[in-house]
Amino acid sequence: MLSSSLADALRRHDRDRYLSALFVPADRRGAAIALYVFNHEIAKTREVVTEPLLGQIRLQWWREAIGEAYAGGAIRPHEVMTPLAGAIREYRLGREHFEAMIDARELDLADEPPATLSALEHYGASTAGRLQRLVLEVLGVRDGEAVEAACEISIAYALVGLIRAIPFHARARRHYIPAEIAGDVGLEVGTVFELRPSPALARAVKRLAEPARQHLKKARSRRPDVPAIALPALLPARIAAGYLKDIAAVRGNVFDPRLAARASRTVLRLAWGAAIRRY
């Protein structure tokens, strides 16, 4: 059984996914929340360790814990693992998705940004994409157009999330802007770390936002063939689309305080998508 503290933790640390989980049918919502909290646990690895080796050890702990859940034996004493193991066994969740997510998080331990946009998109597919495929499995959907749509949406969601997180990463002197894009737009990374906007950074943001729009467009072209039961796993498309509008409204200035303020619209965006049954 999912503890209320886990749901509270998700609400505090990943509000958008918490809100998305509220649209999952009540009898499956606990499993979705457990998956989202697991994602947060591995996603924060870089922020909670002092050196890459410790991060690798932490991720290895999760690999072993997941492996034990599939082996059917005792579950490691951890607040997340108990409901997560229950979800794995009840819904026969694909182990390969967990392994891909953990492997991808090792990239967070490196100081170098991805070399290409393609590499960044692959990262999004391996993190957010695999996560949403697991949520689809909780909903009883394992193949078809819904899976393809989820992959497209998740890449868009990841790109938009990384754009919005540029200030957060910059404070830690990190960034995920692909080297090829930074070079093309003449972006000096040092200016990003100074936490100030620049025309070059705005151009880089635009170069990341455009493929996000294209991925959403592809996902939405599949709507006629997506079963209604899959909608809760695809609603993050509404969040990503809304944030893209917000980013355009501030002309790509990720340091504009209005960008964070507009996040309060997420509830309405999700509710509207659920009401009209369209992601």
Is 176 found in the same domain as 72? no
Is 157 found in the same domain as 278? yes
Give CA–CA dist 32/235, Å, rounded.
Answer: 13
Give CA–CA dist 238/56, Å, rounded.
Answer: 34
Is 137 found in the same domain as 70? no
Give CA–CA dist 14/34, Å, rounded.
Answer: 12
Position 1 scores a pLDDT of: 59
Is 96 found in the same domain as 4? yes
Is 267 found in the same domain as 178? yes
Position 151 scores a pLDDT of: 98
- Structural domain including 93 reads 1-110
Burial (CB < 10 A; 0-12, 13-18, 19+), residue 265, is: middle
Amino acid at position 88, single letter = I
35-59: average pLDDT:
96
Q: Is the pLDDT of residue 274 over 90?
A: yes
**Domain stops at, among 84, 110, 136:** 110
Angle at 77 between CA 71 and CA 81, to 5 degrees: 60
Give CA–CA dist 48/163, Å, rounded.
Answer: 22
Is 122 found in the same domain as 105? no
Give CA–CA dist 272/279, Å, rounded.
Answer: 9
Distance of CA 60 to the CA centre of its chain: 20
Position 262 scores a pLDDT of: 85
- Note whether 136 and 151 are within 8 A (CB): no
**Domain stops at, among 110, 134, 159:** 110
pLDDT band at 228 (very low <50, low <70, confident <90, very high): very high
pLDDT band at 4 (very low <50, low <70, confident <90, very high): confident
**Which residues, other chains included, contact 269 with Cβ-Cβ below 8 Å and sequence gap of 6+?**
238, 239, 241, 242
Is 270 found in the same domain as 150? yes
Q: What is the CATH number of the domain that holds 181?
A: 1.10.600.10
* Total number of domains in the chain: 2
Is 200 found in the same domain as 161? yes
Q: Cα dist. 188→113, 159, 179, 196, 263 in Å?
A: 13, 20, 11, 12, 28
pLDDT digits (tens, 9 = 90+) for 110-137: 989 999 999 999 999 999 999 999 999 9
Q: Is the pLDDT of residue 2 over 80?
A: no
Position 264 scores a pLDDT of: 85
Position 16 scores a pLDDT of: 97
**Domain stops at, among 63, 95, 110:** 110
3-state secondary structure of 279: coil
More confident residue, 264 or 232: 232
Q: Is the pLDDT of residue 260 over 90?
A: no
pLDDT digits (tens, 9 = 90+) for 185-208: 999 988 999 999 999 999 999 999
Is 237 found in the same domain as 131? yes
Is 191 found in the same domain as 56? no
Is 201 found in the same domain as 76? no
